[in-house]
Amino acid sequence: MIKKVVYKTALALAVTTVSTHLMANGVAINEQSASGMGTGFAGRSSSAQDASTVFGNPAGMSKLDRAQISGGFAVISANTDISNAQGSTSGTNDGDMVPVAAVPFGYYVRPLNDDWHFGLGVYVPFGVISDYEDSFQGRYHGLESEVQVVTLQPTLSYRINDRVSIGFGPTINRIEGTLTSAVPVGLSDANVDIQGDDIGYGFNAGILVDLSERVALGVTYHSSVDYTLEGRTRVSGFPAQLPVNGSYDATLDVTTPESVDVSLTYAHDERWTLYAGTTWTRWSQFDQLIIENENSPALFGTVEEELNWSDTWAFAFGAAYQITPEVVLRTGLAFDRSPTTDADRTVRIPVGNRKVLSLGAGWEATDNVTVDVAYAYLREDQASVSYTDYSADYRNSAHGLSTQVTYSY
């Protein structure tokens, strides 16, 4: 009976991270645009700077008077300091578990007539990659995690009148992930390795209103997306007297959260433009996970895990200064709360409340080509993880660099 409980718990911890890692504040990807990154993504739903408005606000396509192709990528380098680690087993706490990662994006927008625009976007809304050392002291709660969602979004916008536009786009989303954990077995460790994938469907919708010649209001809704990950759970390293080694079919229902972005753009004069925005994310809908293990030994079958998240608000403020007709400078400051607390935080999502400072620039190289670059520095408050057998304090920071080229014709 003891062996059954130990193994079932270990499997639950490993499988549950498919969801917790995706739903964490620290792994929701914002880098879908270098032009938006420059202002800390303030005004993302109220300023249609280029074709990346397909994601920011589909209604913004109505602001583009020519066809555009826009694409680029962001490179993210993260660092984690682990301190005050304590545990019932020995191990290391290097904290160097996040490799440098690249996040690509691409968009296309084309006017169909004076009122209708068509757009297409490919981007990454959620993703994470981390890999602790094998000797990590908290290895029984997570080692390697690599999860990402890639979204394809065909989109239409319609200009209702000179001041109001609306936009809508269905999203086709593919999720895939690999997660590993160690399991204590006597004086050695066994291993649980999980892989799974699925395709889910949702939508993005937005409205853009010119309140005056200088002020624009944008609202964008990103729907939740339901997934049923199908894959396998591979178990190895258990002794022969506990016959659970092997590969088993597994399914896990996961829902990525819905969110609403509301922002304002204020054109103060020919040189200064100010931005402000807030994003509400519905984390509270994640109250329970149910994992089904098919064709498995009698030691485990259905595993249920309770979750405790709270809805969050993020705030961003930004500004742009037009130095010359061809060159614009940008800056932004964002504040983003974590939906999890010390009581529920895991080693796979050891994130706290964050602050982000960004700088950016745009250069209209020719009448048809614009180049945007942006840099962001992220720093989080200290966050603690606390298990019965392991506890530690985490402090996370990250540098992000993004570039984007837009061709209009």
Write the DSSP string, 254-315.
EEEPPEEEEEEEEE-SSSEEEEEEEEEE-GGG--EEEEEEET--TT-SEEEEE-----EEEE
pLDDT band (50, 70, 90) for residue 24: very low
For residues 146 and 177, is the Cβ–Cβ distance under 8 A?
yes
pLDDT at residue number 5 = 39
Q: Is the pLDDT of residue 26 over 70?
A: no
Q: Which residue has the higher pLDDT, 107 or 4?
A: 107
| Pick from 171-185, 229-243, 292-306: least confident | 292-306
Q: Is the pLDDT of residue 158 over 60?
A: yes
pLDDT at residue number 391 = 96
Q: How many residues does the chain have?
A: 409
For residues 331 and 41, is the Cβ–Cβ distance under 8 A?
no
pLDDT at residue number 263 = 98
pLDDT band (50, 70, 90) for residue 286: low
Q: Is the pLDDT of residue 175 over 80?
A: yes
For residues 42 and 332, is the Cβ–Cβ distance under 8 A?
yes
DSSP E strands, 54-114: 68-87, 101-111
Q: What is the mean pLDDT of the chain?
A: 88
Summarize pLDDT for 288-347 with one digit per residue, the tens: 666 676 766 655 556 666 677 889 999 999 999 999 999 999 999 999 998 888 888 888
Q: Is the pLDDT of residue 228 over 90?
A: no
Q: What is the mean pLDDT of residues 42-53?
A: 95
- Report the 10 Å Cβ neighbour count for 114: 9
For residues 399 and 375, is the Cβ–Cβ distance under 8 A?
yes
Q: Is the pLDDT of residue 16 over 60?
A: no
**pTM for this predicted structure:** 0.89
How many whole angstroms separate alpha carbon 307 and alpha carbon 21? 12
Helix (H, G, I), strand (E, B) or coil at 37: helix
Q: What is the mean pLDDT of residues 173-187?
A: 88
For residues 251 and 229, is the Cβ–Cβ distance under 8 A?
yes
Q: What are phi and psi of 238, to 5 degrees?
A: -80, 150
Domain ranges of the chain: 1-408
Q: Is the pLDDT of residue 7 over 60?
A: no
pLDDT at residue number 1 = 36
Burial of 329-354, coded b for 16+ CB within 10 Å and e otherwise, reads ebbbbbebbbbbeeebbbbbbbbbeb
Q: What is the mean pLDDT of residues 208-225?
A: 97
CA terminus-to-terminus distance, the chain: 69
pLDDT at residue number 221 = 98
Q: What are phi and psi of 82, to 5 degrees?
A: -110, 130
Token pair 């837009």 is found at 406
Q: What is the mean pLDDT of residues 232-253?
A: 84
Q: Is the pLDDT of residue 22 over 60?
A: no
For residues 169 and 156, is the Cβ–Cβ distance under 8 A?
yes
pLDDT band (50, 70, 90) for residue 8: very low
Q: Which residue has the higher pLDDT, 340 or 123?
A: 123
Highest mean pLDDT among 132-141, 144-153, 205-214, 287-296: 205-214
The matching CATH number, chosen from 1.20.1440.230, 2.60.40.420, 2.40.160.60, 1.10.1200.10, for 1-408 is 2.40.160.60
Q: What is the mean pLDDT of residues 262-268?
A: 98
Burial of 158-168, coded b for 16+ CB within 10 Å and e otherwise, reads bbeeeeebbbb
pLDDT at residue number 334 = 95
